[in-house]
Amino acid sequence: MKDDLPKGFRAATVAAKFRNWNRDDLGLIFSDLPCVLAALFTRNIFCAAPVIVCKEILASGRTIRAVVANAGQANSCTGADGLKDCREIQEIAAKDLGVAPDEIALVSTGVIGARFDMAKWREALKKLSAGLGKQDAEGFTRSFMTTDAFPKFASRDIELSAGNVRLTVMAKGAGMICPDMATMLCVVLTDAAITREYWRKFFIKEVDASFNRVSVDGDTSTNDTILGLANGASGVELISDGDRELFRDELGQILKKVAYMLVQDGEGSSKVIHIDIEGAADEAAAKKAARAVAGSQLVKTAIYGGDANWGRIINAVGYSGVDVRPDEVGLYLCGIERFRDGVPVNDNMEAELAEKLKERDISVRIILGKGDGKYSMLSSDLGREYVTLNSDYRS
């Protein structure tokens, strides 16, 4: 077991058997000290009961002490009964941990429409707190994986003026991934002594620049949640503008690292597509163009097949709704210019381009010729396995 959690945080997992898998599927993060909370949630109107509970905690401005995460049961579209189940879980866990129920956040993933199996929850919760300290970041991350091929987590130490602090990010996600809270669960921990004002400011900005810029299949789920807990256990404060800038930058880098893992592990995917829009009228226009390319099924399947069909990319820009002139748009695929001044270029480089398309990371650079607006996104290709995985998800 690695010692990769920040100071003052402990983890535990158990096998609740929410589905027919032979592994732990219920996890707990507990902080010895109260934590300042930052969070962002799905924009899906049908948000799950655990999301509603977390939103209430965030809106209250209270500190929290724990996160309970599970796989296999989403508790989404379950109405008042689903919320009642969440409250009961908070009550049971609070008694075992010696904290207040509203200091416990819940994150869940699974099939929409089914309530929690409370008999399994009650039995598993009896064992959960007893295992605190016996798991690391990887163990906790594995406890709420579903179709993920590998656990997505990272830690890094940051040297500030007054000493070192640590950031740890743990996430799940492979399918149902789209911008505006990409479909995933994520818990971010730090032992930095940071104010609520700065923590939330940094958190919102860097999540928007990372997890909100990925797309696998264009679906946003009912349970998307990213929680940030800062407990100050290191005793190290961000005492200068330099400290705050360094901390924010390190937060951004680690979030981007884990966001890349989500796209890398997209269900059935084999490629990560790096989309860079330049020369848009403004950032909003660049964002619109990037999302059109990232969400195009034709672009995704072409990249999956290693087909240098750059016309599909230009086509997506054309229907994106962005104001462009064909004779001002440029396109580079895998670093090779393929479109300029309204016509194709470098037709003699098809063979070289085909070789580059065999690589894991594929670059798409589009110049719109309208201004200084720019935007970047990550997307995945789309292969046969995606259909296989999602056609029998409940079985």
What span, in angstroms and rounded, lies between the C-alpha atoms of 132 and 289? 47
DSSP string, 79-103: HHHHHHHHHHHHHHHHHHHTS-GGG
What span, in angstroms and rounded, lies between the C-alpha atoms of 11 and 371? 49
Instruction: Please name the residue that has the structure tokens 């901390």.
Output: 247
Say which of 147, 168, 183, 225 is annotated catalytic. Answer: 183
Strands 26-41 and 163-172: unpaired
Residues 6+ away with beta carbon under 8 Å from 278? 286, 365, 366, 367, 368, 374
Query: Which residue spans within the chain are E strands per DSSP?
Result: 9-14, 26-41, 64-71, 104-109, 152-160, 163-172, 185-190, 214-215, 225-230, 272-280, 330-333, 336-340, 343-344, 361-367, 373-380
Q: What does the block give as tokens for 145?
A: 């994986």
Name the phi and psi angles at 51, rounded to 5.
Answer: -65, -40
Q: Is the Cβ–Cβ distance between 227 and 269 less than 8 Å?
A: no
Instruction: Please name the residue that has the structure tokens 């919760």.
Output: 125
321 sits in which H/E element: none
183 is catalytic: yes
Q: Is the Cβ–Cβ distance between 94 and 86 less than 8 Å?
A: no
List the catalytic residues.
183
